Amino acid sequence: MVILTFVWSRYQELSEGQGAESAEVIQTEVLSAALSSQGEAPLTKVKLSSSRYQIWEDCMMIDHRGNDGDSFHIQASHGREEIRIYFVDAPESAARSYRDGNTNHARIAQQGAAMGGLNQAQTTEVGTAAKLFVKQLLAGKRFTVVTSGERVYNSHRKYAFVIVDWKGQPHYLHELLVVHGLGRIHTKPVNLPDNTTASKQKQHLRNLETYAKRMRYGAWAIVGK
């Protein structure tokens, strides 16, 4: 209910200043948030048995303009980090043009195509919903990060698994994004912290995506509109 109330208030704020078409798309945030009372999906049980990973417990999200659905800044016990979750790419939350003349429009088009053929506006609204969903899960709460320390394209960001509380049980954030229809199966795959192979995890994510499609959650609620 907390997530639903927050996102519904966000929907009302945005819909007042935008056209009817955009307001209709923003309702996907409400659909995504309401999942806590609509059915179950076979999420992976978290087991931390692999010796290849570092485990950062009691992490907290840092409020930062660069945070989005799959990449965000955290405070760990050893200091600040920016992490990028494995396996899943949440859509961009806005179409942008950069000083060097480039844009993120091609990336948005790829994301929309992977999530049922959404147009740019629909894709960025799903990205906004993903960003809000993750913020509600993590902001002001403690969570666990599991990482090998591998950097994203030699940047300061590090690939990681994020383990959050979902209905009283620890679950992987990347799986929650897929099953809520808020991210495509994309980017860096790796074996899970319990040594489940990356290929087996990708198949499981495809099953979760099929579930999200069938239930018409997140992006899959607006496909064809």
Q: Is the pLDDT of residue 9 over 90?
A: no
Report residue 101's pLDDT band, with 50, 70 and 90 as the boundaries: confident
Averaged confidence pLDDT in the chain = 85
Q: Is the pLDDT of residue 46 over 50?
A: yes
What pLDDT is attached to residue 154?
80
What pLDDT is attached to residue 127?
96
Q: Is the pLDDT of residue 130 over 90?
A: yes
Number of H helices, E strands in the chain: 6, 8
What sign results for the dihedral spanned by CA atoms 102, 113, 38, 11?
positive
CA distance 163 to 112: 27
Q: For the chain, what are the domain ranges? A: 2-221
Report residue 98's pLDDT band, with 50, 70 and 90 as the boundaries: confident
Contact 151, 70 (CB under 8 A): no
80, β-bridge pairs: 75
Question: How is residue 36 written in tokens?
Answer: 């806590």
What pLDDT is attached to residue 29?
47
> Residues 49-84: pLDDT tens digits?
999 999 999 999 999 999 999 999 999 999 999 999
Contact 205, 185 (CB under 8 A): yes
What pLDDT is attached to residue 1?
37
Q: Is the pLDDT of residue 15 over 60?
A: no
Report residue 35's pLDDT band, with 50, 70 and 90 as the boundaries: very low
What pLDDT is attached to residue 100?
87
Q: Mean pLDDT, to the nearest integer, of 189-202?
A: 97
Q: Is the pLDDT of residue 196 over 50?
A: yes
Q: Give percent of the chain with pLDDT exceeding 90.
A: 74
CA distance 37 to 56: 30
> Residues 17-34: pLDDT tens digits?
443 344 344 444 444 444
Domain 2-221 is found in CATH 3.90.1170.40: no
Residue 187 or residue 219, greater confidence:
219
CA distance 50 to 151: 19
Residue 224 or residue 46, greater confidence:
46
Q: Is the pLDDT of residue 121 over 50?
A: yes
